[in-house]
Amino acid sequence: MDTAALPDTRDLAERARTALARCGVERLREPVGAAGVARTPLTGQILFPVEFDTPASAERAVTAARDTFTTAWRDTPAPVRGRLVHRLGELLREHKEDLAALVTVEAGKIHSEALGEVQEMIDICDFAVGLSRQLYGRTMPSERPGHRLMETWHPLGVVGVITAFNFPVAVWSWNTCVALVCGDTVVWKPSDTTPLTALACHGLLMRAAADVGAPAGVHHVVLGGREVGEALVEDDRVALLSATGSVAMGQAVAPKVAARMGRCLLELGGNNAAVVAPSADLDLVVRGSVFSAAGTAGQRCTTLRRLIVHEDVVEEVTDKVVDAYKQLRDRVGDPFDEETLVGPLVSERGYTAMRDALSRAEADGGEVLVGGGRRLEDEAEDAYYVEPAVVRMPAQSEVVREETFAPILYVLSYRTFEEAVELHNGVPQGLSSSIFTQDQAEAERFLSAAGSDCGIVNVNIGTSGAEIGGAFGGEKDTGGGRESGSDSWKAYMRRATNTVNYGGELPLAQGVRFL
């Protein structure tokens, strides 16, 4: 593939404007106050200016969201709330290409992955609509005659959603679609790298609200940097703060929200590994690992970063993975080109982090077997295209234990299953994990309490690309939150336990006698 031609920034800006207009964002807010910009990692250039928020305007958004919550949304029946999300799902199907184009322009994802991200939004809409009739509470047998014991789930209030650049629309939708059917209102602060996708999502949601007669105040988007996010963190009217990003961000946010007794839902870094057993189907290993490690240019929180391979097959697995990476080298480039598999890193920071990690790995005795070089520098000096790298490591040194948000796959080897699990769990993060094996007992041991310590544990597939139906999130430094499917909705509601006496007597629990 000839990677010479990158798109022109003006064409990308035009493409973004067209997609935005189709999503209902007619007039971009011209900066009058806080001036921000929309950029594209495809060329590293500015697309156009966008007005950003200030802490004061973020506070006004929280006020409006709180008003809509108390005056309208919490009392709207959940299945009626579901209609809003149903309509959003229809609009997302209609505007799938528009949103995907914006995701590619702003986040640099290849077209197929950008479409996949929008598909995750559509899927969570379907899930949330079903959920709107299934916000079940339990009833329990009361120990007292003539009494009923039960629980009810109520909306929480305003949910603050802080999202990262790498899944600029899907992670918003996991939080927002579930929060909306749960009766909450939402204030969203997207990454300041992806303001346009956020405006487009907001535009579509506002159109859905108008179409079904839901109040516009159920959703607000606040653009900007750290100080705008902090306004949400510190506002005690934000009942739940759901934040996706780095461990450092989570460590800054969590104590502040805890100090005001708010709730946090954290989805932070991962340092995901796959264990490759001697019985593994190596074809699955190579395909699963290459997608998980190099897809999205290594910028998913579920990206495969460590391959822990049994010593009997480590040579063969490494050779096959390196061969596959050699083919990838020629498919780095314009993410709009259907032949491309690896788009740009989102910023120079990712590139610097990659260079630093590779030199630290080499200092630790690592050997870069393929990749690591920068591409297309002559065409666009401010864009950061890189060749995904595979690095053989003699040990799990400090750099391997850190999450570097770039396409580096470290290969380590092991002798016993216990050693593999120890290496696997020997990192601070605990998001996603896999084992490739045909030995059922070994797979079960990896899935057991003494196996992987992650929130996501797979067998014979890679670490990334989870479906929305399961709960998404992880342990340890990953922050412990769960979003998306299964019973994650419970984080967006408050539970009330109710005891109802219909018996006319007043027996006390635990046999206590009084008066």
Q: Using CB under 6 A as the criterion, which residues of the chain lie in contact with ligand UN1 when the complex forms?
A: 120, 166-167, 171, 244, 300-302, 464-466
Closer to ligand UN1 by CB, 455 or 465: give it.
465
Which residue(s) pair with 186 in the sheet?
Answer: 159, 219
Q: Which of 400, 193, 236, 417 shows the shortest CA–CA distance to 304?
A: 400
Smallest gap from residue 171 Cβ to ligand UN1 (A) = 6
Structure tokens at 509: 């629990």
Smallest gap from residue 112 Cβ to ligand UN1 (A) = 14
CB 156, CB 493: distance < 8 Å: yes
Catalytic residue among 267, 387, 403, 442: 267
Smallest gap from residue 152 Cβ to ligand UN1 (A) = 32
Closer to ligand UN1 by CB, 68 or 434: give it.
434
The 10 Å Cβ neighbour count of residue 244 is 26
291 sits in which H/E element: helix 282-294
Smallest gap from residue 123 Cβ to ligand UN1 (A) = 10
Smallest gap from residue 101 Cβ to ligand UN1 (A) = 20
DSSP states along 100-115? HHHHHHHH---HHHHH
Structure tokens at 317: 């697995």
* CB-neighbour burial class of residue 461 (10 A; exposed 0-12, middle 13-18, buried 19+): middle
Closer to ligand UN1 by CB, 130 or 469: give it.
469
Structure tokens at 378: 């002559």
What is the Cα–Cα distance from 310 to 274, expressed in whole angstroms?
Answer: 11
What is the Cα–Cα distance from 377 to 382, expressed in whole angstroms?
Answer: 8
CB 479, CB 267: distance < 8 Å: yes
Smallest gap from residue 288 Cβ to ligand UN1 (A) = 13
The 10 Å Cβ neighbour count of residue 76 is 18
Q: Is 267 a catalytic residue?
A: yes
Structure tokens at 124: 């969570």
Closer to ligand UN1 by CB, 3 or 458: give it.
458
Instruction: Tell me the residue nearest to ligand UN1 as measured from the CB.
Output: 466
Closer to ligand UN1 by CB, 264 or 301: give it.
301
Closer to ligand UN1 by CB, 121 or 257: give it.
121
Q: Which of 141, 100, 136, 137 shows the shortest CA–CA distance to 118?
A: 100
Question: Which residues carry out catalysis?
Answer: 267
